[in-house]
């Protein structure tokens, strides 16, 4: 019996100890200060922190923006001013003038170019040299531009329809002009554009007595018969020669060239490529 009593006594002690420990733990937790429920502070979020940092400059800049907005009037709120009939007509006329000026600026270069092209086509024509009568100035196959004119100058190269049967136009150089003095001796023709009167008969055969600027050429019988009739080259007629005298059919063979048969003056060579240029 004594043993049983001791055993129960031990159990009681153990239970008291455990109970005392639990009481101490409860008392400690009650003594701690806890914030009331519902008033817990939340940690500031990153955005809230940034806003907190930027509060001061924002507050200082806002009045400036507001002042600027007040100073600058809102364009959208402006009402359009109604135009009177006179102002409307003035603006309409101004726009018309501006449109006309723009059209003129655009059209003027086009018109000028068209006029130049028209006159160029109207006053010129292409021609191909056939033969070697104008060597070395022009060669067989050269392509040239002829400027149309009925009054060529001395020593200019012309194209013309010859007074003989031919399918092609001739290309020769003008040597004798209307009004030049001419005289014959045997089969020779003398042309002088400087002398005012014919030399004396005794001076005709003496070369050293001939007037300055006299040109002497040998004529065919047909050409001689024609030239023997004149003391001066008649108005509207020309005496022409080829630059290659040994291989040229010209006024020495068929006589004077009528000005009405002249097509024009050779001015420019455009082919072949290595010979492009003005012709004199």
Q: With contact defined as beta carbons under 8 Å apart, do 249 and 272 qualify?
A: no
Q: What is the pTM of this model?
A: 0.59
Q: Which of 133, 223, 248, 251 is catalytic?
A: 133
Say which residue, 122 or 133, is predicted with more confidence.
133
Of 135, 161, 172, 232, the active-site residue reads 172
pLDDT tens per residue across span 89-114? 888 888 888 888 888 888 888 888 77
Of the ranges 81-85, 193-197, 199-203, 208-212, which is most confident? 193-197
As a residue count, the chain comes to: 280
Three-state DSSP class for residue 145:
strand
Look at residue 50 in the predicted model and tell me its pLDDT: 47
Q: What is the pLDDT of residues 8-57, one digit of tens each?
A: 777 778 787 777 777 776 666 656 555 555 555 555 555 545 455 454 44
Q: What percent of the chain has pLDDT over 70?
A: 73
Average predicted confidence (pLDDT) for the chain: 79
Beta-strand pair 157-160/262-271:
antiparallel
- pLDDT higher at 204 or 178: 178
Residue 88 has pLDDT above 70, yes or no: yes
The answer to whether residue 133 is catalytic is yes
Quote the pLDDT of residue 65: 46
- Cα torsion angle, 30, 35, 36, 40, sign: negative
Tell me what percent of the residues of the chain surpass a pLDDT of 90: 36
Residue 162 binned pLDDT confidence (cut-offs 50, 70, 90): very high
Determine the pLDDT at residue 119: 67
Phi, psi of 18 (to 5 degrees): -60, -40
247 DSSP 8-state letter: G
- What are the structural domains, with CATH classification, of the chain? 126-278 (2.10.109.10)
* Residue 246 contacts residue 133 (beta carbons within 8 Å): no
Residues in a beta bridge with 216: 190
Residue with tokens 């056939």: 130
Whether the predicted pLDDT of 58 surpasses 60: no
Residue with tokens 């003008």: 174
Cα–Cα distance for residue pair 225/221, rounded to 1 Å: 6
Virtual torsion, Cα 265, 166, 168, 240, nearest 10 deg:
-20
Take residue 174 and report the two structure tokens written for it. Answer: 């003008």
């Amino acid at each position: 019996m004594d043993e049983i009593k001791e055993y129960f006594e031990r159990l009681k002690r153990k239970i008291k100890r455990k109970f005392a420990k639990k009481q101490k733990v409860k008392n400690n937790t009650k003594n701690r200060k806890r914030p009331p429920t519902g008033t817990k502070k939340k940690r500031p979020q990153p955005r809230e922190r940034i806003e907190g940092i930027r509060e001061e400059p924002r507050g200082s800049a806002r009045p400036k923006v507001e002042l600027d907005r007040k100073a600058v009037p809102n364009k959208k709120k402006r009402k359009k001013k109604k135009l009177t009939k006179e102002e409307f007509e003035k603006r309409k006329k101004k726009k018309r003038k501006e449109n006309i000026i723009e059209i003129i600026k655009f059209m003027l270069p086009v018109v000028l170019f068209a006029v130049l092209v028209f006159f160029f086509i109207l006053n010129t024509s292409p021609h191909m040299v056939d033969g070697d009568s104008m060597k070395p100035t022009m060669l067989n196959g050269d392509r040239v531009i002829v400027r149309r004119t009925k009054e060529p100058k001395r020593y200019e190269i012309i194209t013309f329809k010859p007074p003989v049967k031919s399918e092609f136009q001739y290309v020769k150089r003008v040597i004798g002009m209307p009004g030049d003095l001419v005289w014959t001796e045997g089969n020779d023709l003398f042309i002088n554009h400087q002398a005012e009167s014919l030399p004396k008969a005794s001076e005709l055969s003496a070369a050293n007595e001939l007037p300055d600027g006299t040109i002497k050429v040998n004529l065919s019988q047909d050409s001689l018969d024609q030239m023997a009739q004149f003391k001066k080259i008649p108005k509207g007629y020309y005496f022409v020669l080829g630059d290659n005298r040994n291989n040229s059919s010209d006024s020495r063979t068929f006589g004077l060239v009528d000005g009405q048969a002249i097509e024009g003056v050779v001015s420019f060579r455009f082919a072949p490529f290595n010979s492009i240029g003005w012709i004199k």
